[in-house]
């Protein structure tokens, strides 16, 4: 069966049908997260991908310094934000999409399989009646192969499950924003042991992305400093990943990858912010409703994870 979504993305990249996206990256070192502002040079329409709301777990306080840097860039460039795009429901930071939406407008969007994540974690957090678990917290839910525009830029959505069931990648011009499907070649791939994760699905999703033209630029959602590297980096190419990715380069079989990934995942601690992050991000970055004393609470399930 032909992968029509991938074929469309490959054609988009090879033919350069949608022009060259202008890309500005913002790296948040406390969470090792990269936020991107992508815009069309001619129309100045833009999208913000995987934004970060600062959160201090010791005090329970949020702040907007990271998001404000993005906001300042958008205003300096005179950009018109159409979309706040999430690659998945992150487990390592809170999304700033609602904050930025309030300042800039635009719609918040994620893959349609966020409903699976909402149902799983809605049960874990015993979410109340304010949480519908049907994706309606988001303004738009993408299906695999969906197309939309950012000004004159064509965008193709690819469903790339494995790290979570809802992961998507955004093909924008000649660039792909891969979320947590893979990292820089010297760091490998994302874990697949969260609820709904699947190492075999992750392998197939990564290989799907790596079947795009070799010159395709890949932009990571995170970077970590492996031994031997001094600087954070987050841009690479399909060709570089196929040649040198320490987990999934050419020649690594699916069974070899699954055995490695599952063994490695058993050694990993839970992300520091997973419990606050997921219960906010499954709500499109909105905090739970305030209780009758006017205070919003995030739940910490004890001995449940």
What's 4-271's CATH class? alpha beta
d(CA 111, CA 96): 17
CA distances from 84 to 27, 52, 81, 102, 113 (A): 17, 11, 8, 11, 17
CA distances from 291 to 72, 160, 188, 252, 295 (A): 33, 37, 42, 51, 6
- Which tens digits make up the pLDDT trace of 240-268? 999 999 999 999 999 999 999 999 999 99
Name the pTM for this structure.
0.95
Is the per-residue pLDDT at 144 higher than 80?
yes
- Residue 129 has what pLDDT? 76
Q: What is the DSSP letter of 272?
A: T
Q: What is the DSSP letter of 271?
A: P
- Which tens digits make up the pLDDT trace of 95-141? 999 999 999 999 999 999 999 999 999 999 998 777 889 999 999 99
d(CA 4, CA 98): 33
- Which tens digits make up the pLDDT trace of 264-280? 999 999 999 999 999 99
Domain range list for the chain? 4-271
């Amino acid at each position: 069966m032909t992968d029509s979504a991938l074929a469309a993305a490959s054609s988009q990249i090879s033919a350069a049908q949608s022009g060259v996206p202008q890309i500005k990256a913002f790296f948040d070192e406390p969470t090792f997260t990269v936020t991107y502002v992508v815009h069309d040079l001619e129309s100045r329409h833009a999208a913000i991908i995987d934004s970060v709301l600062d959160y201090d777990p010791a005090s329970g306080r949020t702040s907007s310094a990271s998001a404000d840097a993005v906001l300042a860039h958008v205003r300096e460039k005179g950009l018109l934000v159409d979309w706040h795009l999430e690659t998945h429901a992150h487990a390592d930071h809170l999304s700033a999409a609602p904050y930025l939406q309030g300042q800039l407008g635009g719609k918040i969007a994620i893959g349609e399989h966020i409903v699976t994540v909402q149902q799983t974690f809605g049960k874990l957090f015993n979410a109340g009646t304010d949480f519908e678990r049907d994706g309606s917290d988001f303004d738009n839910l993408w299906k695999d192969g969906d197309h939309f525009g950012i000004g004159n830029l064509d965008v193709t959505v690819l469903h790339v499950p494995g790290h979570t069931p809802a992961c998507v990648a955004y093909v924008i011009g000649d660039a792909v924003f891969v979320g947590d499907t893979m990292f820089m070649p010297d760091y490998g791939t994302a874990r697949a042991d969260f609820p709904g994760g699947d190492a075999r699905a992750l392998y197939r999703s990564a290989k799907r992305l790596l079947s795009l033209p070799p010159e395709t630029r890949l932009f990571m959602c995170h970077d970590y400093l492996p031994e031997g590297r001094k600087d954070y980096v987050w841009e690479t190419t399909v060709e570089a990943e196929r040649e040198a990715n320490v987990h999934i380069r050419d020649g690594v079989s699916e069974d070899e990858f699954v055995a490695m990934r599952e063994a490695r995942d058993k050694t990993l601690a839970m992300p520091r912010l997973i419990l606050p992050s997921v219960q906010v991000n499954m709500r499109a970055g909105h905090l739970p409703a305030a209780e009758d004393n006017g205070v919003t609470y995030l739940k910490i399930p004890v001995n449940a994870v």
